[in-house]
Amino acid sequence: MKHVLKVKIYYEDTDCGGVVYYANYLKYFERARTEFLESRGVSLKKLMQDGIYFVVAEASLKYISPGRYGDIFLIGTEIDKVGPASIIFRHEVSREETGEKIVNATVKLGCVGQNRKPIRLNNEIMDAVSEKI
């Protein structure tokens, strides 16, 4: 099941040429994953209070077309694969006005405890991310 987040591009998001700075996509993906999980009942704040954290283990981005100041992006987020202690997300960024593809990405998150060592995904997380893969 895909989740879609709208992101408006402000001047602060761009470089001196008015093009979205490449590293900002990672911030947009973080927001999109948070909204994805929270839409399925997983509170990252509660997980953190319980000593459960997600860390980015890998990220792969393909830049297709430049995003620009004033654009509104639709960021589609879905689960690609779930492991015992990891989740791989797929992200697709498109321009709302035209549907033009901007960026495709995969991001692998590892689940870790307070000691930052890997831990298994608990049942709450597994139920939320395994739904309709």
| Domain ranges, ordered by start, for the chain | 3-130
Tokens of 98: 């035209």
Q: Is the pTM of this model over 0.85?
A: yes
Nearest of 110, 58, 105 to residue 77 by alpha carbon: 105
Q: Report, as residue numbers or ranges, the catalytic residues.
A: 15
In this prediction, residue 130 carries a pLDDT of 84
Label residue 82 exposed, middle or buried (CB < 10 Å: 0-12, 13-18, 19+).
Answer: middle
Summarised one tens digit per residue, pLDDT across range 101-127 is 999 999 999 999 999 999 999 999 999
Distance CA 125, CA 122 (A): 5
Residue 131 confidence (pLDDT) above 90: no
Distance CA 29, CA 5 (A): 9
Assign 133 a pLDDT band (cuts: 50, 70, 90): very low
Sheet with 101-112: strands ordered across: 3-8, 72-82, 86-95, 101-112, 53-63
Which class is domain 3-130? alpha beta
Tokens of 73: 């992006």
Distance CA 84, CA 87 (A): 8
Summarised one tens digit per residue, pLDDT across range 20-41 is 999 999 999 999 999 999 999 9
